[in-house]
Structure 1
Amino acid sequence: MTTSFHCSLTTFLSSLITVVKLVMQGSAVYYVAIGEGGSGITRTRPHTANGFVFPIVLKFYSETDAQHALMLNELIALHGFHDKPASIALKLKNSVIARTILPNIEWFYPVCAGYEKGVFVNYNDLKHSIQRFKGPRFSKITNLRDAIIFMLLEGRTNDWNLEEAKNLGDLGLRATVRSPNPKANRATIIKANFSKADESSSESSSNDEQDRIEKLSEKYADFVYTYIRRPSKPLEAHRTKTLDAADLPHISHVVNDYLTAHGYTASSVVKILRTKDKSHSGEDFAEKMMKYGPAFAYKEMKFLWNLFVFQGRLAARNRKLKTNKIRTALHARAPRNVIKLTSAEKKARREKAQLERGAYKVAMDEILELIHQKAEFLHAKFGGHSVQWYKLDIMQRARLNGAKRAPSRWNAYVKMEVQKLSGDGGLTKDAVPGVMKSLSQQWGAMSKEEQAEATNNAMKDLVEYREIKELAAHNAPINAFHDTRANLEKIERDLAALHARTNNECLLIVVRSSSDHYNKPFLFFLSPKVADFINLAYNQTGADMALKLEAYCISGVSGYVKNQVEATALMKKDTAALIIDNLRKITHTNIPRMIYATFEDSITSKYGVVVEGWPLPKFCSPADLSSRMEVQVLFRAWESGQARFRQLLDDELQKWEERRFNERMSMTNAMDQHMEERATATPGDMPIFESMDTVYMRWQVNELSVSGSGEPLALGKINGVGMTIAFD
């Protein structure tokens, strides 16, 4: 009992102290505006524009704290207020000075979506700002730096390390709802902050609204400048207090942001919604609203009607990429009233079904036999594939994607004749349908040979026209831009729908390959996992990767070859690839690699292939060449065909094998003779140079020379002795 009373007393005293502090602080409120052109410390709340990050309003109850907070404004000004919010947030995150500002305050309460946007140091201010607000975004943070970062990123602090992740939508090509009024475009193209309108006692003539304003606590009576629209008065600017938005009707956030930005009052919003429900078109809505007064212009009301009607459709269209519904049957049929059959009726139905199945099977066999005959006909005429392949191609023709009709001689004839008539100046574009009947009669009177002879050249032009239309590169950058934009929009929706159905992840990067094109780098992914992977694997954002890819595609690989060493290495790689490609072509085998050291054993003996026209004195891999000139000579020789592989004929291969066998036998006999001479020789009679376990010997063996050129005939190693012998 004593413990419970002690806790209650402690709670009461804490509440009393809080109330006393609030009363004492109520007369001393200081505001700091973080942003370009800030007015320093003020006693009245500065104006905050909807849709913009700056200014960020900080509310303090101590002038000393407000002066320290101004240091943050000077720190951000060093980097520039015009930089992207994510970049400013990253710089603040890495700033040591920003971390040390106002360490004496225990908690900061940033609110980026509420009745009042800003950073507060008192919980009651937070409660007043977000209470009964639909979809508030706020947090409780221990230091001012992180609170400002929270405001810059609009509450998405988990994405701050992606730097420009929140601005990746700028790389895409998305449509934006725009107003016919150019001044309103600045408000509509900026991401809305989902905030409520600020209203005042002067925005309505009703006594009820005036009474509600007077009941507001003077402590929270923050003044703002806003435009006010009344039903029967022109546009006015007022210095007003904020109203409790609970009295405002519930509308979509897009319409709410538009009405907030243009200063519509609660009574005006009610009239707009009531008139919308009674209207059947935009013209009807605009005419009815104009009866309330000059504040409701005709064009603006039509735009507002479109915002009501089409924004819902566009939002539904853009959001309908995922659903939680379970897939069910597409058609729901009512149960039929079935009459129970007798045994005789059932037997008759079974017999009838059996006869139908037999007849159907016979007809199907005849059709399959006909298809098989057609497949055999195609195989005999074209070849290249098996009969089964042609049969499957016939059966699957209806399911193949991209199937298109062959060029028609009739279309070519019409195109040719219309061009003739148009060239004479006697036929306009609108008169073309009128001559189709006469052209059809002329075409029908011609024989097949005459039709073919008349349209041979036109058919070539038609085929070329179709190929150009489908595959030719755009010669105007604006055409390439629109082609890219339209196709990427379709691909984006298809990938989003695929992700919704299968939950598969995707990453799509599209960049231009020429500096003459207009399209920006396009980056598309559907999950933060992809962005995290790019950041962790490549230590950069997706936007940076897209920009680097664009730079590489525009500059080419030449920008990366920095010196002669890299150029030589690249040429060696190309030469080796060219040689192995020629070897695979002549052997019709996918040989994994080219072997130079034992070419005769590994290549010639297996595939019967020899090298002709080798331009260098040394037969080795391009990687073993030390001179760039030698690599260039070797590459040019293979590229021009001077160096090539040749397939030996059967008799040539047999002679080569016999000669190779005789050389091996002669080498063996010579080595045996040498070993005998070495065993009986005295030291100094024969030059022997031993180094470790390898003995190098050199002598003249004229009887083993086949070509008589004196070139080395063999290079081998004696097993078990570790001896390498070269014959001259």
Structure 2
Amino acid sequence: MARQKKASNFDKLLHASRRVGSTARKPWRIRAKRIGIKLTAGQKSERKKQRAAQKQSYKEALLKVHQQIYAAAAEIHERFIHLPTELIATDIFQSERLQSSTKNVGRYNAFVSLQSKLMNAEVPEGQPRQKVNELSKKIAKKWEVMSEEEKDAATREELAHLRDRRANKEVGEHRVSATAAQDSVLTLQRVQESLERLTMRTGDEHLLITTRGSNKVYHKPYVFASSNRVVEFFSNAYKEIPADMGYRMDAFMVSGVEGLARTHVQILAQMKKDIAGLIFRKLQESVGNVKVGRMIYLGFEEQITKRFGIVVKNWPLKEFKNPSCVSTKSELELLWHAWDSGTAHFYRMTTQEYSDWLAIASGPAVIQSGDDRQGSGDGSSSGEAETGGQAAADERLSSTSGSGIQVPSGASPSPASGLAPPSNFVAMNMVTDSSGDAVAVRKRGSRKKHSDAGKPRKGRAGAAGNEAV
């Protein structure tokens, strides 16, 4: 069976970071309830003695092998006097414990998995399932009589499924807290054994602290120090033993930043920053290849709509303004969800829509006056005409095309002689809410004239006087 090329540690971490959290961990084997045999107290005592004797004999066998290794190291030392016996013994003990390469999933593996499922599907419910080693001979006979095309066709889907199952087993996220805790403890115990052996071989010192990442997992902090020297170092340097440091780290990881004392003002400031960044990214995506310096709210008509032909649709708030000017948390959350979900978005007008918008933006205000109302012959009074004129103006301004863009009315607009809306609002659909109605957009007001406008600056006046002298 072909072996995969050993990947570097960086490649392994990169691969794991891409896949972690993307899929939930799935069960990869089926377990049946084991039928146990109850033992008497005498049988339990006898088995306990057998296990103790077996453990003792195993330790004696290991000790004997170690003595043989040190004896072999002493023999090598006689040939290489410049090398100490301890170094030779360490070199003998040095070996890779962890698996360095894995077998690739082959077609026969996929065929065995598929046939095992099909054969076990015929087993009545409640009966023990057949093991792979019991079915291997039958499956091998079927595999031998198949052609290459039949093998490819039979194993193509199952082969991809096996590869996904292997990746899921390695980096799949646990959905059950008890399973995740058990996986953490067992894995950490194997890591501790590896570190202990590494210390025996090389003399390196280690400190391992592992805690939960959230309060959804239930296991206590795992702290391992390779020797008392590590504990003494932390006691002298940090005035704290590693076990206490592990509990502190666990408390911080569970509570995180949310557990720290954060004021309401800091939370709102972070929300405003995130929303402003999100809206700016959406604007840059709508504009395309043209680089936009920043999002303009005050003066959106001149800086954004007139330059790029872009309007805002489904703005969730009553007024179009910078998120930094929003004062309530509920409005900020509404604004974030609207833009994050795509409900509120930028719309780029077509050429015709942009021409219609320019015709209204550059023309006079469309407001019907009281005289116009009387001239139409409806017989209403002047007061009613003024009120009706304002309503008619609002009616004309709210007439939009299907895309929410203002289109000019059939009648040519005339200069307004009645009441006009405030000059700092633009009565055009550059920004619309979810119902398609226009949202008020403030214009950038004219700047206040400086008191020293037109006067030469002191520096320039002094320089001019020096030149004259």
Task: Give the structure with the larger strand fraction.
Answer: 1
**Smaller-chain TM-score bracket:** 0.3 to 0.5
The alignment's TM-score, normalised by the length of structure 2, stands at 0.45
The alignment's TM-score, normalised by the length of structure 1, stands at 0.31
Point out which structure has higher relative CO (alpha carbons under 8 A, 6+ apart): 2
